[in-house]
Chains A and B, each alone.
Chain A
Amino acid sequence: MSIGLRELRRKPLRFGAAGAALVLLTVLLLLLGGLLDGLYLGSTGALRAQQADLITYSADAKKSLIRSRIDEAERRQVEAVPGVEQVDGLGVALLGANVPGQSDVASAAVIGYQGGVRGVPDPPAPGRAYADRRLEAAGVEVGQTLLLGPQREPLEVVGWVDDTSYLLQGGLWVEPGTWRSILASARPDATLADGTFQALAVTTAPGADPAQVAAAIDGATGGATTTVTRDDAIAALPGLREQSSTFTSIIAVTLLVAGLVVALFFALLTLERTGLYGVFKAIGASTGQIFSGVVAQAVVLGALSFLFGAGAAWLLSLPIPAAVPLQLEPNRVVVTGVALVAMAVAGSVFSLRRVVKIDPASAIG
């Protein structure tokens, strides 16, 4: 192993080609992973922040918040179900926000809520909102009055909240009356009567089984509702599943490419050194010793390439405009590093057969 590492130290350029390829692949992996995380977190924040276990939609909405509507009578039916502890109304209006001093319209999600949202204080006074920090990139500041929708409805920002966006639109958290009036003004066809919400966030009582409560809710409303867990509600967001599977496949293919690059590189290296390894074996080195040197080289090569690649990805991410939902999460970085080193080791293992087959007698011709 020590010979392998010494070679790496003395002749680092010999590993330049494979190292450069792995650095590039690391950049690609981290940027892809960052995009996937950014898209997921930016789309799901408003639902992830709900303290409730269950979300109740109208049955004809196919779990779409925008298409769902639950009136007061249905809400009372839900509240009466055994195992239901708390019910909060929830609604969203996706629209453009005119920010003072900015020429571009910001993408906003005005979210009407009654409480029960992690990291968001109780609803502010009518006409005021807590804004998600995502909107900071669009020039929004606390104290500003935004003008929303085609009718330019005013809304004053009174504070920041974090990680509460919906479908990549910055969340503006308002009390239900403000949400209803903005919705009616921006989309007259989506106007909802007082007391009607798009969905209900249902908190179950301690010890109650959420799945059973969900079934009981839908039974109590006579099938007029579809109640799902918060995770199912997140998974039902439009395009989220497809997005996730597409990016995960690209990441998997990229990792395979990394393994392939390492495999081909070490195959070539081993081939070039058949004679040398023959000499090693002739003077008593075992296949295990030679091979552990190859694996050690792969680990160091993978780890160093990853570090350089991670640095490059971070530098590249700095000038990327805020509109691109790139988010480099520590978890993602660690997992990518481990996966890359693992693929490098897996790639180097392909040389094992060749190392085993080397005949010590070849050292003497």
Chain B
Amino acid sequence: MLLATSEIRRAKLRFSLLTGAVGLLVFLILFQQVLLGSLLQSFTGAIENQSAPVLVYGAEARKNVEGSIVTPDAIPAVQAVEGVATVVPLGEGTFTMEAGGTQVDTAVFGFTPGGPGEPTKVVAGRLPQAPGEAVAPREDTTKGFDIGQTVTSSAGGVPVTIVGLTEQSRFSVAPTLFTPFATYEQLRRAANPDARAVLPTLLAVDPAPGVDPAVLADRITAQVPGVEALDRARAVSEAPGVAAVQQSFSLILLLAFIVVTLIVGFFFLILTVQKASSLTLLRAVGAPAGYLVKALLQQIGVVVGGGLVVGVAFLFGAKAGAQAGLPLQVEPATVIATCATVIVFALLASSVAVVRVLRIDPFSVVTRQSLGGTG
């Protein structure tokens, strides 16, 4: 430890810079993962945190809520499927709402109070009971969606009063209201006075006791023409865009891990090459190779450990600062897994430097002129 620490003490700036760089990269990796989780939650939270275990889409929707419409004849047909307890309509649409004095793109879900499709994560206030009431995401209270406030549709001026707040229940990264279906219908008609009818976007289904939602979804798809039923988990994971976002972020993460590996690997390799003469001398005066490798690994441990501390500290700083915008959810498991991966990658990266140390030939001290040898 003496060799490792005394070198770090003498080259504080160099090691601090590397620790800082690793710390920033660790922060980047952690932040991206946390952002991914939060972003996906904001994309599909409304689907994940509603009470219907099975959702029925129009077959042409390609599992896209916004592209779905269910024809009136589908409701009795789904109700007739064995294992279905309750079927109610669920509407979804994006409307321009006047909130807090500005126009805001707002997703609105029209559900049946007391039936499947209700929001399940109401954290303040209450669920809407009457037309004209809605719950809104807690994340959007500063945008004019707080309890007691009234937002109005830009088209037709339909007022909606916020009576409760949800969490993790946004849709398409927009403020999302859950309101009785009648209000949703009113908003639709106000947006387009020519509308002939307002059909459900989806059907929310409660299975009978003991019926598996996934099995029931497959049964509905097979027996009812023109629809595709999905259990809640599939509705979330197979929503368009979710896979694309996940793949994009995976690519960025991979890139960030490669950068950490390259930086740590190259840094310690350069350091080892720079010290080759001194290390050869140490070997020649009897220092075992294991001792030098141990010192190298200790330095890597200090740099990577320090980097992890810096990265995690930055993450919590960012979490505190991000409360007003997209709320960040830090999962301890993600932090631990990321730290472990960085350590493994750093060790892998430093293996080149370790090999270089192991290959040092103590005899070269008598042949290398720079070490006083005879050449």
A interface list, Cβ under 8 A from B = 21, 28, 32, 58-62, 64, 67, 69, 94-96, 98, 105, 107, 149-151, 184, 186-193, 196, 246, 250, 253-254, 257, 260-261, 264-265, 267-268, 271-272, 275, 365
Contacts and interface: CB of A to CB of B under 8 A. Distances in A.
Contacts of B192: 69, 189-192
B199 interface: yes
24 contacts: A28-B255, A32-B251, A59-B154, A62-B105, A96-B62, A105-B60, A150-B69, A151-B71, A188-B199, A189-B93, A189-B196, A190-B192, A191-B192, A191-B194, A191-B195, A196-B194, A250-B248, A257-B255, A257-B262, A260-B259, A260-B263, A264-B263, A267-B266, A268-B273
A257 B270 contact: no
Given A184-B196, A191-B196, 6 more contacts: A61-B155, A67-B95, A67-B191, A187-B69, A268-B273, A272-B273
B252 interface: yes
Interface of B: 58-62, 67, 69, 71, 93-96, 103, 105, 153-155, 188-189, 191-192, 194-199, 226, 248, 251-252, 255, 258-259, 262-263, 266-267, 269-270, 273-274, 369-370
B370 A365 contact: yes
A271 B154 contact: no
Contact of B270 (A61, A96, A253, A264): A264
Nearest to B28: A253
A189 B197 contact: yes
Contacts, number: 112
A188 B195 contact: yes
B194 A264 contact: no
A150 B273 contact: no
B355 to A, nearest CB: 14
Given A28-B255, A105-B60, A264 B262 contact: yes
A56 B153 CA distance: 20
B267 to A, nearest CB: 8
A257 B198 contact: no
A67 B274 CA distance: 65
Given A67-B96, A150-B69, A271-B273, A188 B59 contact: no
Contact of B59 (A60, A64, A105, A192): A105
B367 to A, nearest CB: 13
A267 B270 contact: yes
B209 to A, nearest CB: 32
A64 B96 CA distance: 9
Q: Which of B59, B199, B258 is the most central at the interface, judged by chain A CB atoms within 10 Å of its CB?
A: B258
Nearest to A168: B240
B156 to A, nearest CB: 8
A365 B69 contact: no
A150 B60 contact: yes
A60 B94 CA distance: 12
Nearest to A169: B67
A150 B273 CA distance: 69
B71 A150 contact: yes
Nearest to B91: A189
A257 B96 contact: no
A150 B259 contact: no
In the A-B complex, the 4 residue pairs with the closest CB atoms: A96-B60, A60-B154, A264-B266, A188-B197
Contacts of B94: 64, 67
A60 B155 contact: yes
B34 to A, nearest CB: 16
Given A60-B96, A67-B191, A188-B197, A107 B62 contact: yes
A190 B248 CA distance: 34
Given A62-B96, A150-B69, A192 B194 contact: yes
Nearest to A362: B370
Contacts of B196: 184, 188-189, 191
